[in-house]
Structure 1
Amino acid sequence: NIIDVEMKKLGENMVKDCAGLPLAIVVLGGILATKNNSLNEWQKISDNLKSYLKRGKNQGPEDVLALSYDDLPPYLRPCFLYLSLFPEDYMIDVDRLIQLWVAEGIVSSKQEERDGGEIAEDVAESYLMELVERCMIQVRERDVATLKVKTIQMHDLMRDLCLSKAKQENFVFIVDQSNASSLSMIRKRYMFNNFQLLRALNYERTTGDRFAGFKLPSDIGNLIHLRFLSLKDLEFLWPKLPSSLGNLRCLQTLDLRVDRDKIHVPNVIWRMEQLRHLYLPSRCESSTKLKLGTLRKLLTLVNFNTKNCYLKDLINMTNLRELGINLPFNIENFNEELGENPPIIGSKYLHSLSIITSGYESIDPRHLAHLLSNCTSICKLSIAAEISKLP
């Protein structure tokens, strides 16, 4: 077949242009995989590669990587450039990345279809998989049960390209020794007043000292445009979070998993009706009692319990996909006959349920059986708590 022979020759020539760098060869394969398997398409890629090599002074591998970026469709470019925000060799949590994409408006939640259509997180996941298929990011971990990608990483050379393009397009502001001191002063004294248009505040600590000060400043309530706020693993001396958090009514993701034995959460979360992902502290003060029944858009709820929350609120969360219960979990006025007990879960989309304990609590098998009877779409169940027998 003449066409097959020509395509083979084109392929061999393009591989030679990659100068033996495995990453460049893999990325080139990712580009070709998105095209129709035709001689014409392969010829176009070959011609483009040659023009890049001429323009880039025959740097070979770097030119192939540059071609991979320019070949991206417009909707994928900001998704790729956003990865420049993460440090070198950083293991990027996919769920967190998708939440940030949606919060920043890179993937819109305004165009969601109702009644079972794709939501923004599903669209974002499909974009991520396109970047994986193009070999522009590397999969590091998959979920054992669902095989979904959990963590990703960027090759050093690909990250260099990403950072370079992000600077060229003014997509990011880079902090270096020339401006770090002034920015540090802003952060310490005026952070929550000077950045009132901020949409995402990833305040969590990933390495080093987790101490974040005496308490979370009440001025955080001034960031009324926030869509994303994470306080994960931060350590505060003061055992209470400010009630001004209730001003953040645009929040879509809220992570309150601070590094503290117990903390009081004010009953203001019910005001955040746009919330899609809520991570409560692993242990709350006994004075904490949260109303969550207004959070009808919630997709993720972690560290729910019946001591600090109301069980009846779960029935209103009709879009819930992931539920994490941190004991205690008790059903009041429980009757032995299941038919006499109202349903607990209002969502038909719930696919992940985890039950854990941060103390010595156990779960009643009858209560668990009734909970599971509402979960008809579960594909992942995790129980790390004391139970006398499985229902």
Structure 2
Amino acid sequence: MVKHCAGLPLAIVVLGGLLATKNNSLNEWRKISDNVKSYLKKGKNQRPEDVLALSYDDLPPYLRPCFLHLSHFPEDYMIDVDRLTQLWVAEGIVSSKQEERNGGEIAEDVAESYLTELVERCMIQVRERDVATLKVKTIQMHDLMRDLSLSKAKQENFVFIVDQSNASSLSMIRKVRRVSVHEFFFIQCIKSPNIRSLLFFNEFFPEEALEKSLPLEVLNYVEEHEDEVCNPLVWILMILRTGTSFLNARGIWRYMFNNFKLLRALNYERTTGDRFVGFKLPSDIGNLIHLRFLSLKDLEFTWPKLPSSLGNLRCLQTLDLRVDSYKIHVPNVIWRMEQLRHLYLPWRCKSRTKLKLGTLRKLLTLVNFNTKNCYLKDLINMTNLRELGINLPFNFENFNEKELGENPFIIGSKYLHSLSIITRRLKISIDPRHLAHLLSTCTSICKLSIAAEISKLPEYHYFSSHLTYIRLRWCKFEEDPMPTLEKLPNLRILEFERSFEGKEMVCSAQGFPKLESLILAEVDNLEEWEVDDGAMPSLQRLKIRECLNLKMLPEGLRFITTLKELKINESMPKAFKDRLEEGGEDFYKVKHVPNIIFHACYIY
């Protein structure tokens, strides 16, 4: 069968993926062979791409719309899997009715299994996996496979793509359910009241569109005299130019909100260009009462206040409010959206923002939660929460300092597997006691990320025994955290960056029993690192970066026979590097490591 692939690697791989879905009986393989022969054309017109078409025809009915949906994305686009599966659920490609009540698979799990099937059939390419769970994070489509998806989507009238081939010639789009915008065009061209999905992958209102909206004489005059800061006419024309942009952007929003009232998904994925999308989000958005997916991520509004009409969107399942504004006010209406499954709050909210979220019992993802703009007690009601991102501040009221166990329970979900704690502001820290109590209520997490100042790490018994991945940044521990971290029985990956103020670090015997990967980065004060015989018996990868005062690698590394890769990166002194090279006085410590990489070390 390989000869029919004409040497095209992708066709061979896809054919192999197709065969892998069948059992190993001779009859099944013969049937596939006969299908390949009958499917492919004879003689000069025979094309290896026809094998790819056969792979589509072999898809079960539930996978076909998933594959066709991938045609939405531009060529070479890196597709975020979480965002993709949320769209599949919102558009009904994967139905939330498939969920079982008593702890069964939720729709997102079903969507993920469908994606895995497409990966196993080699119809999509994995680009990144989650370091903790090994689940697929990002995917990409081969050009030929994307061409197949586009071709089949066109045949099925599945989606209308606005790209370079048609953006400049569009006059009217009718009878379509999905539109994917890769090039700017005037949204008023869409005359389909039944449109269900609208995805943008371009600038909302690019410079070239602005140029068409103003007289050429105006634009030329501004360009020729823009350096004349005292010229009042230039200022007037620039204000006119900005005002025109405001009005056009507002017109685009209002046209969508008033004419596409059956929309289920509205997503903006900015690939290049400006993030500016107008003065403010119009209140007309409240007309989209069927909307299930809304993303405003990275969009920039001049007016830092979202409309209260957002509360009309009672069917929303995904809401991403991470707009690109310094501070924004979110009205207290999100509590009305009881179907919400994924909520991404703004990076920073106005001080008057105070959100009640206790009604969101179906929530799976909550990002940028803090105790300044939200109520801590609401977390107890989110019994299905899987991922929690805390953006400091995070403080308790009426905290019992003497006995942590007497404080109220915080997390109500037994399914929480990922916890991140970050701050985007300097001098915002988290109280070690509050962190200890928080961790003690997160009994199932396997992934923990802390990027915030904290003076001390809680004792190991506060940590979940399921933890496999920990990332610590900017923590500034005063005491060596290794005696605590090394007791975690299932920890596989530890990333350590700017998180220790001391000079000595010790990894003791039998510590880190399952650790496979360790990164030490920018631990500026570290001078001595000791690794006892028997420590880190499973370590495979070690990376050291910008630890400028570290004198040498520990003696104990020579006992770690599992070590496969050692990376010495960026700004490590040349003397440190010389000690480790063949002939150097410390080479005996690492001579058993098959792959030693030096990159950008100092030359002095």
Provide the TM-score with structure 1 as the length reference.
Answer: 0.92
CA distance in structure 2 between the partners assigned to 1:166 and 1:173 by the alignment? 8
Report if the CA contact (8 A) 2:356-2:374 is conserved.
Answer: yes
| Greater Rg by CA | 2
Distance 1:287 1:183, change over 3 A: farther
Distance 1:236 1:97, change over 3 A: same
171-180 or 341-350: bigger deviation: 171-180
1:367 Cα offset (Å): 0.4
CA distance in structure 1 between the partners assigned to 2:344 and 2:46 by the alignment? 47
Corresponding residue for 1:52?
39
CA RMSD of aligned residues (A): 2.1
- Secondary structure of the structure 2 residue equivalent to 1:293: coil
> More strand by proportion, 1 or 2?
2
Report if the CA contact (8 A) 1:30-1:135 is conserved.
Answer: yes
1:380 Cα offset (Å): 0.1
CA distance in structure 1 between the partners assigned to 2:439 and 2:42 by the alignment? 61
CA distance in structure 2 between the partners assigned to 1:317 and 1:353 by the alignment? 14
> More helix by proportion, 1 or 2?
1
Distance 1:238 1:117, change over 3 A: same
1:55 Cα offset (Å): 7.8
Report if the CA contact (8 A) 1:78-1:106 is conserved.
Answer: yes
Alignment deviations for residues 250-301 of structure 1 (CA, whole Å, 9 cap, x no partner): 0000000001110000000000000000000010000100000000000000
Corresponding residue for 2:49?
62
Alignment deviations for residues 226-255 of structure 1 (CA, whole Å, 9 cap, x no partner): 000000000000010011100000000000
1:175 Cα offset (Å): 2.1
Alignment deviations for residues 124-145 of structure 1 (CA, whole Å, 9 cap, x no partner): 0000000000000000001111
Distance 1:58 1:43, change over 3 A: farther
Report if the CA contact (8 A) 2:334-2:356 is conserved.
Answer: yes
1:306 Cα offset (Å): 0.0
CA distance in structure 2 between the partners assigned to 1:156 and 1:53 by the alignment? 20
Identity %: 94
Report if the CA contact (8 A) 2:41-2:47 is conserved.
Answer: no
Q: Which has the higher contact order (CA 8 A, sep 6+)?
A: 1
Alignment deviations for residues 152-192 of structure 1 (CA, whole Å, 9 cap, x no partner): 00000000000000000000112256864697999995111
CA distance in structure 2 between the partners assigned to 1:20 and 1:326 by the alignment? 52
CA distance in structure 2 between the partners assigned to 1:58 and 1:90 by the alignment? 31
CA distance in structure 1 between the partners assigned to 2:405 and 2:160 by the alignment? 59
1:89 Cα offset (Å): 0.2
Structure 1, unaligned stretches of length 5 or more?
1-13
Distance 1:183 1:53, change over 3 A: closer
Distance 1:269 1:56, change over 3 A: farther
CA distance in structure 2 between the partners assigned to 1:74 and 1:211 by the alignment? 41
Corresponding residue for 1:213?
278
336-345 or 73-82: bigger deviation: 336-345
Report if the CA contact (8 A) 2:367-2:388 is conserved.
Answer: yes
1:110 Cα offset (Å): 1.3
User: Do structure 1's residue 107 and structure 2's residue 94 form an aligned pair?
Assistant: yes
User: Do structure 1's residue 200 and structure 2's residue 269 form an aligned pair?
Assistant: no
Report if the CA contact (8 A) 2:275-2:298 is conserved.
Answer: yes
Distance 1:182 1:259, change over 3 A: farther
Distance 1:21 1:85, change over 3 A: same
Distance 1:70 1:196, change over 3 A: same
User: Do structure 1's residue 164 and structure 2's residue 230 form an aligned pair?
Assistant: no
Distance 1:53 1:204, change over 3 A: closer
1:58 Cα offset (Å): 4.3
CA distance in structure 1 between the partners assigned to 2:416 and 2:151 by the alignment? 41
Corresponding residue for 1:300?
365
Distance 1:191 1:55, change over 3 A: farther
1:115 Cα offset (Å): 2.1
- Secondary structure of the structure 2 residue equivalent to 1:54: coil
Corresponding residue for 1:17?
4
Alignment deviations for residues 184-229 of structure 1 (CA, whole Å, 9 cap, x no partner): 9999951111110010000342321100100111111111100000
Q: How many residues align?
A: 372
Report if the CA contact (8 A) 1:204-1:234 is conserved.
Answer: no
Structure 2, unaligned stretches of length 5 or more?
176-253, 424-428, 457-604
